[in-house]
A = this chain, B = another copy of it.
Amino acid sequence: AIIPVSSSFAKYIQAGVPVGPISDPTKTVGPGPSVLGKRSPFEHPVRKPSDLSSRTPLQDLYSTITPSDLHFERHHAGVATIDPGKYELLIHGMVSRPMKFTLADLKKFPSFTRICFLECAGNFRTGKEEMTPQDVLGLTSQSEWTGVMLSTLLREVGVSEKASWLLAEGSDASLMTRSIPRKGWDEAIIAYGQNGEALRPEQGYPARLLLPGWEGNTNVKWIRRIEISDQPFMTREETSRYTYPVKDKIRMFSFEMDARSIITYPSFPQKVDRGWIEIRGIAWTGRGKIVKVEVSTDAGKTWSSAKLQEPVLDKAHTLFRYLWQWNGENTEILSRAIDETGYIQPTLRQLVDARGTDLGGYHLNPVTSWQIRTDGSVLFKPENWK
């Protein structure tokens, strides 16, 4: 830790005053106000990047808003750089008047703000005990989004009553495209704001589609075109990707993210002490609100209701907390989310029973479990289903 020394009175600070990493803060005038804040030199939360994505450090977060620079990433041809002055959104197809909107145009329309999560449909990894929540489920984050409701723009172009699907197309080098059925249009936002400020480049600057609760990939980033149609386009991302085997079939167009949860504390590689522990985590569902989270501290034999942090928002990460007195013995702790449709987050076994062993990598939302060892160490419990 390096302590910067500067203040409006720095000129008065006598040479020889001890200033160092462990100087007494009550006797050391600190730096004055600045243009942009920085993290404490003692804090280093980071995303975990791979070639294709980067993961949010869920275990380092205390609440539900993900700092924008820690928002997970998944892009298919890198982060596009878009000049906001040249940006335009085209809406055409089955409309009375095809139109182009500049970014300034978009910002002039009546605006809307909401907090909701985003999650990659491929979120969830297992395989070894030395995994953190970031490793297991880091492809989800939450922001406060602002933009213009898609319905406001569709009103301007005059959408045909016969229209039933639209194609959303990005302007990155993958020209990402997804077909969105009419049931997704009502809540859709063309978002230009994220956590108070402009969208971050990795989240689609200057504008993206936001479909609250729907799989991340449908929330097309760097959006430049919307084509109104009466059938899906069957793009690569909705056929050869983001589909998954279910017994002898392949399931496609799974838009809503299924309810799930994860305990973020305690988790690997943390250690716990015998005594009272507040088990903490997040739960969310693409189908509305979380109504209940249940926690088991005896490897799934019994379950009790956890406390949900108010306000519980629609399609939003919901904090849960559960008090537990650990007696120092080996055990497993688990959580399961229950959403307003009555859906209970299933076990991996239930998913395998329903879908077969060739599960694929999408829309897998099993209950996950942490093993607590007598020495207080916490390990992920990998499960194998093949």
Q: Distance (Å) between the CB of A274 and the closest chain B CB?
A: 12
Q: Mark A16-46, 1 if CB is under 8 A from B, else 0.
A: 0000011001111111111111111111011
* B29 engages A173 (CB within 8 Å): yes
Q: Mark A73-110, 1 if CB is under 8 A from B, else 0.
A: 11101111111111000000000000000000000111
Residues of B within 8 A of A65 (CB): 65, 144, 195-196
Residues of B within 8 A of A171 (CB): 25-26
Q: Distance (Å) between the CB of A10 and the closest chain B CB?
A: 9
* B60 engages A197 (CB within 8 Å): yes
Q: Distance (Å) between the CB of A112 and the closest chain B CB?
A: 8
* A1 engages B54 (CB within 8 Å): no
Q: Mark A111-153, 1 if CB is under 8 A from B, else 0.
A: 1110000000000000000000000000000001110000000
Residues of B within 8 A of A200 (CB): 37-40
* A30 engages B81 (CB within 8 Å): yes
* B196 engages A61 (CB within 8 Å): yes
Most buried by B among A70, A113, A203, A276: A113
* B39 engages A108 (CB within 8 Å): no
Q: A108-B276, A319-B113 are in contact. Are A78 and B197 (CB under 8 A)?
A: no
C-alpha gap A197/B85 in the complex (Å): 33
Residues of B within 8 A of A34 (CB): 47, 49, 54, 73, 202
* B80 engages A38 (CB within 8 Å): no
* A3 engages B113 (CB within 8 Å): no
C-alpha gap A167/B52 in the complex (Å): 52
* A146 engages B278 (CB within 8 Å): no
Quickly give the copy total for this chain.
2
* A30 engages B61 (CB within 8 Å): no
Is A302 among interface residues, defined by CB-CB distance under 8 A?
no
Residue in chain B with minimal CB distance to A57: B197
C-alpha gap A41/B146 in the complex (Å): 20
* A201 engages B35 (CB within 8 Å): no
* A111 engages B278 (CB within 8 Å): yes
C-alpha gap A203/B206 in the complex (Å): 29
Is A280 among interface residues, defined by CB-CB distance under 8 A?
yes
Q: A40-B206, A172-B25, A198-B39 are in contact. Are A30 and B63 (CB under 8 A)?
A: no
Q: Distance (Å) between the CB of A80 and the closest chain B CB?
A: 4
* B110 engages A321 (CB within 8 Å): yes
C-alpha gap A219/B139 in the complex (Å): 35
Q: A67-B195, A195-B67 are in contact. Are A173 and B28 (CB under 8 A)?
A: yes
Q: A40-B206, A62-B111, A82-B25 are in contact. Are A75 and B197 (CB under 8 A)?
A: no
C-alpha gap A40/B313 in the complex (Å): 29
**Partner of A27 from B60, B173, B198 at Cβ < 8 Å:** B173
* B144 engages A83 (CB within 8 Å): no
Query: What are some 5 contacts across the A-B interface (CB < 8 A)?
Result: A8-B52, A32-B78, A35-B49, A110-B323, A113-B319
Report the 7 A-B pairs with minimum CB-CB distance, sorted nearest first.
A62-B193, A30-B78, A33-B54, A62-B146, A33-B49, A37-B69, A25-B80
